[in-house]
Structure 1
């Protein structure tokens, strides 16, 4: 990981690129040929990016987006099936830690003391959606498709989704989306609370919003974020640990494998995954 000065403001590494200008970091998921699907290197790159941003002096805002035609298609299931230890690696949590790797790359945006804006286009599925939900705001193109997709693989949302979804909607709506795995377009997503703003050029609007925030007190912005997060949520640590416990109980059982094989076959038929995700 390289952190540079304003004269050469980039953080670059495999899978994730970050440019910093005037205190605004633009973080880009950079695996466009795979629709920014999440494999172990992507998880590692996101974690390192978050660690670097946390230590970056003068950071004022973050814009998080995906390169190419998708924000993120979610977990690269085929990659994880080829490396079963990778799935265990992202779920591993030390006894003194509240989060595992999978949760940190989503919940970490929630913990940054600056406003974080996720910009979504194309697909925002599964783990990709949970990463976007870790941001404070989500600006989306009208045709972006969203899905709490984990049920298609026979698993539960376990990248801090239990915490971030409860902050945005009622429990019945959150369960309906998680149990059905259905897709919804940005206008409906906005009505349900998944999306903050629907616009034709969400990246331009995110940049304008971030630049407007530069004129505000960074202490006040940090205080507002901390205050409102506390007001809307409680017992985050317990929920994050419960996600991991339930997921580890589900993974590898016959029902989960049947759902994964069914999901992979359906994905190939619908989205041409043979080309995009292999």
Structure 2
């Protein structure tokens, strides 16, 4: 696919996906979502890719869905009625599911405004870091909508029901530093250090035991839907698989020999 609304590249085991509509604050078009999903599919297929960085070009991560495009070409159901659930079903929800199931770690570098659906896309990354000037905005209520792109599922789990309600009902900006204090994101860094830090983390993960990292991701994401017994059984299964991999033996040998491990992702 020839990308028009994103930039994609791979270097040193790290794939970088950039939303690339800076003139529109990276507002999300259906084409952008299709291209992002295609890029994530490439990441899944490419054995050279062992970690992914998702960010935005310019001064925003993304302002959310492109409302101008929606007005010009509104999504309609079979009867010709406006159907805002349709793009969720066909574009946004598949992207969230794809990010969740990707067997490689995703780091989101929030370089500015992350509003609407884009805020929730950012929070669905495995590690989310933000520039100090960045903010998150559940803007939906301001145009008489509900949080989507998984927001109503994710926010209560991240910050509890009261703070989730506050974010959703008031539709106010949440500064990056407050988001970190609330446990929504992992780190806040100075604006000019954001991409360097994101790539540092991504390269560290890319050098790591990526098969084990994929299983860590699987286990932690499964926990919110499992009872304790089910989660314990999942841990047993995944740990058995890890123990049979070459990286486990390499990790043990490196530990006993007092050297850095050379993980191959197997």
- TM class by shorter-chain length? 0.7 to 0.9
Matches within 5 A, 1:148-227: 148-200=138-190, 201-227=193-219
- The count of aligned residue pairs is 220
Kindly provide the CA deviation profile for residues 150-195 of structure 1, in whole angstroms up to 9, marking residues without a partner as x. Answer: 1111111121112332332212211210111111211111112222
Larger radius of gyration: 2
**Structure 1 residue 116 displacement after superposition:** 0.5
**Structure 1 residue 128 displacement after superposition:** 1.1
Aligned equivalent of 1:81? 71
2:86 aligned residue (88, 91, 104): 91
Distance 1:80 1:92 in 2: 10
Q: TM-score, normalised by structure 2?
A: 0.76
**Structure 1 residue 78 displacement after superposition:** 1.8
Q: Does 1:230 align with 2:225?
A: no
Where in structure 1 are there 5+ consecutive unaligned residues?
Answer: 2-11, 94-98, 236-278
**Structure 1 residue 234 displacement after superposition:** 5.4
Residues 191 and 233 of structure 1: CA distance in aligned 2, closer, same or farther (over 3 Å)? farther
Q: What's the RMSD between the two structures over aligned residues? A: 2.1
**Structure 1 residue 83 displacement after superposition:** 0.7
Conservation of the 8 A alpha-carbon contact between 1:114 and 1:221: yes
Aligned equivalent of 2:113? 123
**Structure 1 residue 211 displacement after superposition:** 1.3
Q: TM-score, normalised by structure 1?
A: 0.73
Q: Secondary structure at the match of 1:168?
A: helix
Matches within 5 A, 1:4-153: 13-85=3-75, 88=83, 91=86, 100-153=90-143
Conservation of the 8 A alpha-carbon contact between 2:43 and 2:52: no
Distance 2:50 2:200 in 1: 13
